[in-house]
Structure formats: structure tokens, C-alpha cells
Structure 1
Amino acid sequence: MTRETISTCTDIQLPLQVADASSLQWDDQCDVLVIGWGAAGACAALEARARGADVLVADRFTGGGASAKSGGVVYAGGGTRQQRDAGYVDSPEAMFDYLKHETQGVIDDATLRRFCESSAANLEWLESHGARYAHSMPPGGGKTSYPPDGYFLYYSGNEMVPSHQGAHPPAPRGHRTVGKGQCGAVLYGHLQRACLKAGVRALVQSAARRLVLDAKGRVIGAELWCLPAGSKAAKEHARLAARAERLQNFAPSYCDGLRRKVARIEQQHARPRLVQARNGVILSTGGFIFNRALIAEHAPKYRRNFKVGATGCDGSGLRLGLTAGAASDRLQQVSPWRFINPPLCWPKGIVVNTEGRRFVNEEVYGGTLGYPLCEEQGGKAWLVLDVRLRRDAIKQALFGGYWWFQSVPALALMLLKVRKGRTARELAGVTGMRPELLEESLRAYNAAARGTAPDPVGKSESSRQVLDRAPFYACDISVGNPIFPLGALTLGGLKVDEDNGAVLDGQGQAIPGLYAAGRTAIGIPSHLYISGLSLADCVFSGRRAGEAAAHAGQHTTSQAAPLGAPA
């Protein structure tokens, strides 16, 4: 088989349709089958198991997915213990007020209120399963793309940006799981161990390729293609898959080759296994940023972006749902991340388009900056600094205690991918900008920095600094800059009933026996992303689907805790 004909995505097929469950000889049975063992799948499995269901969770790899590769940040507020210990006052109403602006009606107000009201309790629920959270805030006001080790509470969105603030004082809601390094693996490790301890059965290296439907259209199970446990093929599959995830940030093309080898092993060695789900099937396989065909079809502007996610983010859950008649929404919605903090002083520069015109408030969250950059500016923009601000930024990158993935690209951008001009007009000449527009952008910004005029894009006074010390520098923050990758993840998914996570068809009716959670479904972050919101939604939507699926049969227990409360 040639390289070109090997797809790295799960081979999704049309459903197997039978008269009823007794028409098949099943290889395994359970009450609830969870497809995808990332954070959403783990939370769904734990909730269903706590309510008495026999739960089986299946994953194409060994679990974790994008959740394990994340920073382990959970967006939580409304008055968490960590917020109180850090001296901040927050309430569900204040959290709702802020998120109402960020979510822009992607979910109903009632759902958003439930999310905010259960937020603190869901964080405690994670703690009851072993995760830890602390109240230490990073230096510099608590605003950064990701806190240094030793700091676990921070402003992870646009809470401090005037245009995004509501009537309530801002509060930090980014709760980073306590651990070293990128803490997504720490959080997921706790969830995975909790699943196994609770009696959730796991089928790893088992990809769901098609659903099983009865004559009434109810989803009654799925066909999994499984590698033989403990076999040489399974061990090589795990080794190559882990290597691809580990090296994705450094050698994406090489990792694509590893994924083709992984797919070849699956084609040659996986065998079908029919699993009956008496109560229902929960789809929780993540988004589809690694599915080139879906990106080309729905979000072609993001084909060049660095992929934020894991190999399993190939849209398999989405595609399984569609084969059963599910409706999808916002598949064109992608969150591109262009962070310019740290260095802490970078937002005091100005971001301009290829003509030299400012188009965004530089102090906003990286996803809020990246979206207009990709959607409106063709993925091209410059960060303009003067010599004083560039010198300060280099010092901060060298000695600010940032992560290597923050400081190294920043230094490379300022030292290697940079254009220089003795005047703004000369800088425009070497970058292709229109001189009069760049000069006007600087003139208007400097007037705001001096306090003689309002800032044209609404930047806070604390984030302004006069740029008048020559020479001037333009740093290329475009999507095509290889030394300063602009990552992206998908936000769209299957439409679900917001009360229970049931997947909806084109007429808005629930498909019996089918649920979805996490980035496979439309959820809290499906408009624009802010750090921690996806993991928080994995907990919220995962527990919601797990509870509903467990209650779909006669397998509840009187000891089960109410949704949103610690176990």
C-alpha cells in the first residue's frame, strides 16, 4: 500500500442495522459504552459508574488524547476555595456575566448558568478523584499564556480586558492542576486511575468504526476494531503512537509518517469486536483538527495552522454520529492561538496587518487575537516594537522565568524573524506596509499612551507604552512563520440536548441511545476558546452524558451523588 493511500484517520463506516439486540452474537456487553477515553470520556465513565451502570470505555490508543497533552487548566469560578484563599471574591453570577460575552449564545443561558453554578463543585469533584489545585498566582498580575511551575491560579482569558469585563470585578478562574510541566497528563492520570479503581472496564487500542442500530433507529452498540492485547503489533502501535504525540511540536511531518505506520498496523492486525450497550453509547473522541479532509471542507483557512490536539482528534466521534443521522453545527469554528504574552511587555507594542493598520487590542487572550488574524487578515500580521520595548522584551524572555516554549520562540522572533527600520516609514518599506498607515497607527497609539486621546482599539492604560525610540522593529507573527507556530483546534461538533447530552438529529429530536460530550459535541467553548474552558466543559458535559446514559436503564443507585457535587 502506497503512502498516499494510507489514511491516518479512523475508518468510519455506515451503521450495522439489525432487527434487535438478540439478532447479533455480541462479543461483550455493558450498560454504557464510552467511545474515547480522554477527559470527557473519563468523566462520563466515572459518573455513569457512580450511578450503578456497568461501563466499558474504548479508545483507539491508550487513553488521554488531547486532554493529556493539554496544560491541565480547568476554568472554574463562582467562589472556588482557591479563589478565596488568594483573596478574590467571585460568584456564579459574575462568572455568567463574563462568559455570556465570550460564548455569544452558543449554548442557552440556562445551560451556561448551570455550568457556572456547578463550576466550584465540579472542581471539588476532580479533587475527590485525586487532582489537586492551589491558589498561588504568577508574578506580573496573574496574566500569562501559561503559568510557570509553582503557580496554579491565573487570569486565563479576557477577564481584565475592559471591553470584555461586565459589571463585576474580574477574578482569576484558570485553575492549573498541581504538578510539574504541562499538567494535562497529571490531571488525566488521576482520572484514568479513578476509572479503573471504580470498576470501569477499558478496551484500549480499540477504534470504533461503526455503530449498531436496531429497527427503531436506537443505537444499541458499536463495532470496535481491536489490536490483540499484548501482541507485538499492539506494542509497536503504542510505541509509535506515543512517539508521534511526544514529537509533534518539533517534527510534525515526521510524526505524520509515524501515524501512517500506526494506521498500517491497525489495517493489518485489528479485528472486529461487537459490544452491546444496553443503555447507550457516549461519543467523546475530541475534535477533528487532525482530519485534513474535514478541515479542507469546513475550515480551509486553517490548513496551515499548527495542530493543537492528539492523533485521535480525527473527527471519528463526529463522523459516527453523522452516520446515525445526527446534526452538526459550527464545524467551521476554529480557535487559532496567537499568544503575545509572555514576554509580559509584548502587549505594549502594536499588532498591525500587512497594510500597517491596527485591527485588535493587543492585550486580549491569544485566541481572541488569533481569530481576526486568521479570519480577517489572511493569517498575516506584524508585532511592532521600538528599540526600548524590544530590549525589555528580550530581557524578559531571557530572565523572566518563562517556559522554554514561551521564551525560545519569542527570542527567535525578535532576533531572527524581524525587520528593522530607522523610522516608521523605513520599516513600512522593508515590510511592504503602507507608510502613511503605519505612521498613523503609531501616532494614534502614542497619543493614547501619553493620555491625550483614547486608544483606538480600547487597550488598557497599563498596557500602553509610547513607541518613539528608533530604530523600529516588526516581528512576523503570521501563521506561516515556522519559528513562531500559530496553533489551532476545532470547536464545532454534534448538536446535543443541553439537558442530558443526547445527540440530536436534523429535526431536533434525540437519537435514542446516543450521547456526546467534550469537543465531539457543541458545548461551552464552541464559539471562541479561552484557556481551561474545554477541560471544564469536558467535566460538565461528560458528567451530564454519563448521568443520562446510566439513568436510561434500571441501573441507578440511591448512593449516587447529584450532578455537580463531589463523589
Structure 2
Amino acid sequence: MQTHSQMPLQVADAGRLQWDEQADLVVVGFGAAGACASIEAVSRGLDVLALDRFAGGGASARSGGVVYAGGGTAQQQAAGVEDSPQAMFDYLCQETGDAVSDETLRDFCERSREQIAWLEHQGASFQGSVPPVKTSYPSDQYFLYYSGNEAVPTYAAKAKPAPRGHRTVSSGQSGHALFAALKSSALYQGVRLQVQSEVRRLVQDEAGAVLGVEVWRLPFGSRIAERHARLSRWVDELHVYAPSLAERLRRKLRQMELTHAERRLIRARHGVLLSAGGFIFNRGMIAQYAPKYLPGLPLGTSGCDGSGIRLGLGAGGEPAHMERASAWRFINPPLAWAHGVIVNADGQRYCNEEVYGATLGHAMVEKQDGRALLIINRRLLKQAFVQIGPGKVWSFQRLPALLNMLFNIKRGKSLAQLASKTGLPLSGLEETLTAYNRAARGECKDPLGKSPAFLASLEQGPWYAMDLSVDSKLSPCAMITLGGLKVCERSGQVLNTDQQPISGLYAAGRNAVGVASNLYVSGLSLADCVYSGRRVGAHLALKAVAKNSTGDPA
């Protein structure tokens, strides 16, 4: 079995090397986690050098900019929403599983209000405007929404629901605005950022302590650096629309780096932080750890190649939850789709259609061999076209829905005809719709716990089926990875296979196991980046104080 580790440069001690540069904290990967760690550390007096293979931002800058927060944030209070850290904890217990301890999850919830206030202090902006209906991502009018399963009956029965998706105020996808605020704050406070700088190896002494990094940097201001920057922007823009072309250009980027980058050694006096994103773009790692997710569409940027995790593995770190990936099968908007039924290859329902898209995607990939067919009728189809009209949803929501309703749909005047066209067994389809229609008429509760407001009778045809399976060509299923390196939950220090901390090595964000490493909820990964990044910065600052006061290398 492959390990995909990146073996370190082994030396007897730090004094044996000619270091080109030094810093208290060296950050590998300057996305949300790296930026938050940098800000926390520099604000506490540490000298911080951040390195990024590209321009910084990574998947965080290209995300929706949603931060999962609750417990009574200022935005929730402005919206008249009642919430508490306990309610937030009770809900997240249903999503996080055993990814982190109850103690860590409770701390995450207790500090949630402060995290949002801290982000605002860095220049990010949030509001308490709540959309009138559930959506996967709200329009520019709304910035606080139910970003997970909070209001779904089975979840609400265990935790008082509240909207906790805090979307950064900005036009369109807000990740760029959130990262811009973090980057500006970091640079203003004195963080040194070096872009187009790829860390290829950690430097480790004979005892296993991490001393620094070997970085390969494109010559600053050179023509090749300009070409690299321009091409890397094109690659990330093209990927969703032309993944094969993007992959060819990604190979060109790699060749530029291998040919023109210059080697430098950077000493980390107190620690190295790995915060370089997940591994969804590393097909070899996906094949090894999460092969069920190979048919999906990788979501993120070229830097999400597992490089940080591989550096940690090479230094002796232990991976966990690497089989966990998140498949995003959103069927709202259009809201009418969520009133239909999702069935498997046997024509049977297996998931409440009102659940969050990643919850549906998880059930589809992990339990149904990636199969998902959406069954609606003419009335719902007409409603769906109206609901995705101009000005009503984002273009990234409208276009896939429109393409599927025009080109990825099969029509049957009878259920027998629909079954024949889709290859579904007629008996299974009839059984499913009979039970569903009974619930829609109010004769019984929906067996999968669907809210009455999301039920719609499918007694009248004609009927339509859309194939939304994981390998659908017209409805690509976006995916991210959730696993990473095991870390100490109090410091963020990477743990080895004996569950002992590796001296000088830390991980945060999607390089580390955290609150988002079991099941995904919109905003939970970014919230974990803030939480885990700040944890490392704070720990290293305290460690530096202790070392300076006692002379103990700690």
C-alpha cells in the first residue's frame, strides 16, 4: 500500500545547515487556517513567515465565505434568533461523530461568538439577514441562513434549531472577501508572505524534531513567475468547466516549478505549521484512501493536492479519517426538486430529500453505490423552471438545474413507461410513490421524516426522472476531502503513530483532523480553519514565552 509521504531532509542538528532565512513560526500554506494562525501568532509577538505555492488563499478564497457560528452571535441577535452554545453543541454532536472529543467540540461552540467577533476585528463583515426559505446558498440580500440540517425534524428533535451559516458580506461567492480581510490584517500586523514558494521537504533532526523547511521559490518578479501566476489563475477558473484542459495546464505549472524554482532553507525557531489544504486533487491519494469518490468533481484549487499531509506523514505523523470525503448533491434550489423523491437503483427512497446536500451525497456514495435518481411530476417541473428564473438564484445554481431539466431528464406518461426508460423496477417505483403520496395526503407520517411543508403529491403524471448519480456528466458531483493528520486537540501539534507529539510540527485546517472531519456542513470547514489556526498561533506564542523565560526548549 502506498503511503504518499514526503520524506524529510534529515540532519544531525540545526547548526549543521546554512539557513537562508529564519522565523519563529513558518506557515506552509496561506489559506484561512494559515492566515488565522499567522495573525494570532504575530499579534502575540512572534515573527511569522508564511509560504504559499501559489498566490495564497487556496480553497478558502474560492469558497462561499460561510463561517459556521452560533451560541448567540451579534448577527443572530440582530435577526431575533435565539441560540446557545449548548444548542449548537447538541446539533453538531449529530454531525461531527468521533472526529474530535466532546471537550474540544464544546470549546469550539463556547468560543464561536468570539471567533466571529475576531474575524470582524480583522476586517470581515457579517450581517443578520435571514432568507425566507431554505437554500444551499443565499442571494446578496441575505447573510445568515440554515447552512446544514438544523431545521430537519430528526435533527431538530435533539437540538433547538437556529441559522448558523454566517456568510461574509460581499457580492457573489464571498470567500474572496473573507480571505482578503485576513490577508490584509496579517500583512498589516507584520506577517511576511512569500508566494510561489513550494515547501518540498521538512528539515528534521535525528531525534525527529522539525527544524525548518526546504522551499523552492520562483525568482521574484521574473518573467517565469509572472507566467506561473497567470497560468495558475486560469487553471483554477477552468477546472469546473474543462477539467481535462485544466489538468494539462496544471502539468505545465509543475514543469515550470521543477525547472525554474530556486532552493532555500528556512529555519523555524519554534514551529512549522502545515495548513496547505486537502487532497481532493491528488488522484493517487483518493484512490488509496477514498476510492468511492473518484467519479466526483474535485472542488478547490490546484494546491489541494495533499502536499501538507504528505509532509506530515514523512515526518512520522499519523493520518485519520482519510476515507472521509464530502460529496455535494444539492437539490435545492430549485426548491421544487426537494419536494420530489430521490431513489436508488431499486426505485427505493433512502434519504429525506430536504436534508443538506452533503448529507444526501454521503448517503448516495457510501450506502447506494453512488446512485440517485430524482423523480418529480409535471407540476413540480413547472415550479422548478419558475424558481430558477432570472434574478432568483445564482448563475452557478441556475445553469446546472436548467441543463438537467432540459437534457438530463426522461419522461413517462405512466410509471411503467418511466420505469422502462430509466431501468428502474416498476414494482419498486410504484411502492415508493404509493407510500410517499400517502404521506403527502396526510394519511401518515413520512417514513423518512420529511417535513409536511416539503411533501408534494406525485399522484398525477406525467412523471420525470433525472439521473443525479455521482458519475452524472450533466450534474457533476462536487467533492472535498475531510481527513488529515492527527493532532493534539489542545495545541494542534501533529501526533506520531505512538500518539506522541512531533516536536516543532503543527497542522490546521484540512491538513488536520478537526470538527469538520466527519460530515460536512456549509461553513464548518472555514470555522474549523479559524479555530484550529488560532489554536496553533496561541500555543506557539505561549511556548515561546516559556522558552524565553526559562531557557527550556519546551
Distance in 2 of aligned mates of 1:377 and 1:437: 15
Distance in 1 of aligned mates of 2:140 and 2:245: 30
Unmatched tracts of structure 1, length 5 or more: 1-10, 559-567
1:99 corresponds to which of 92, 96, 110? 92
Matches within 5 A, 1:511-550: 511-550=502-541
Matches within 5 A, 1:7-22: 13-22=6-15
Distance in 2 of aligned mates of 1:382 and 1:364: 16
SS in 1 for 2:212: strand
SS in 2 for 1:209: strand
Cα distance, 1:398 vs structure 2? 1.8
- 1:12–1:320 Cα contact (<8 Å) kept: yes
1:253 matched to which residue of 2?
A: 244
Cα distance, 1:554 vs structure 2? 3.3
1:73 matched to which residue of 2?
A: 66
2:156 matched to which residue of 1?
A: 165
Describe the superposition over 1:485-533 as per-residue Cα deviations: whole angstroms up to 9, x where unpaired.
Answer: 1111000000000011000000110001000000000000100000000
Q: Residues 172 and 208 of structure 1: is their aligned pair in 2 closer, same or farther, counting only changes over 3 Å?
A: same
Unmatched tracts of structure 2, length 5 or more: 550-554
1:229 corresponds to which of 220, 223, 238? 220
2:80 matched to which residue of 1?
A: 87
Cα distance, 1:549 vs structure 2? 2.1
2:188 matched to which residue of 1?
A: 197
Describe the superposition over 1:301-360 as per-residue Cα deviations: whole angstroms up to 9, x where unpaired.
Answer: 111101111100000110000011100101111000000010122111000012211011
TM (norm. structure 2) is 0.97
Distance in 2 of aligned mates of 1:395 and 1:220: 60
2:311 matched to which residue of 1?
A: 320
Distance in 1 of aligned mates of 2:489 and 2:172: 34
Distance in 1 of aligned mates of 2:115 and 2:415: 51
Describe the superposition over 1:86-126 as per-residue Cα deviations: whole angstroms up to 9, x where unpaired.
Answer: 11000000000000011112110000000000011001100
Matches within 5 A, 1:286-325: 286-325=277-316
1:379 matched to which residue of 2?
A: 370
- 2:280–2:480 Cα contact (<8 Å) kept: yes
| Matched AA of 2:24 | D
Distance in 2 of aligned mates of 1:387 and 1:247: 35
- 1:240–1:262 Cα contact (<8 Å) kept: yes
User: Structure 1 residues 393-402 or 405-414, which shifts more?
Assistant: 393-402
1:279 matched to which residue of 2?
A: 270
Does residue 151 of structure 1 match 2:142?
yes
1:132 matched to which residue of 2?
A: 125
1:404 corresponds to which of 385, 395, 402? 395
- 1:348–1:465 Cα contact (<8 Å) kept: yes
Cα distance, 1:429 vs structure 2? 1.0
Cα distance, 1:482 vs structure 2? 2.0
Identity over aligned pairs, percent? 54
Cα distance, 1:12 vs structure 2? 6.9
| Matched AA of 2:256 | I
- 1:52–1:556 Cα contact (<8 Å) kept: no
Distance in 1 of aligned mates of 2:269 and 2:135: 46
1:436 matched to which residue of 2?
A: 427
Distance in 2 of aligned mates of 1:555 and 1:476: 59
Describe the superposition over 1:49-68 as per-residue Cα deviations: whole angstroms up to 9, x where unpaired.
Answer: 11111000000001000000
Residue correspondences, number? 546
2:47 corresponds to which of 46, 51, 54? 54
Q: Residues 458 and 400 of structure 1: is their aligned pair in 2 closer, same or farther, counting only changes over 3 Å?
A: farther
Cα distance, 1:555 vs structure 2? 8.3
SS in 2 for 1:374: helix
User: Structure 1 residues 513-522 or 250-259, which shifts more?
Assistant: 250-259
| Matched AA of 1:492 | G
Distance in 2 of aligned mates of 1:42 and 1:169: 33
1:333 matched to which residue of 2?
A: 324
- 1:278–1:553 Cα contact (<8 Å) kept: no
User: Structure 1 residues 395-404 or 318-327, which shifts more?
Assistant: 395-404
- 2:148–2:356 Cα contact (<8 Å) kept: yes
Distance in 1 of aligned mates of 2:77 and 2:538: 30
1:42 matched to which residue of 2?
A: 35
1:476 corresponds to which of 448, 455, 467? 467
| Matched AA of 1:77 | G
Cα distance, 1:69 vs structure 2? 0.6
| Matched AA of 1:403 | W
1:188 matched to which residue of 2?
A: 179
- 2:24–2:271 Cα contact (<8 Å) kept: yes
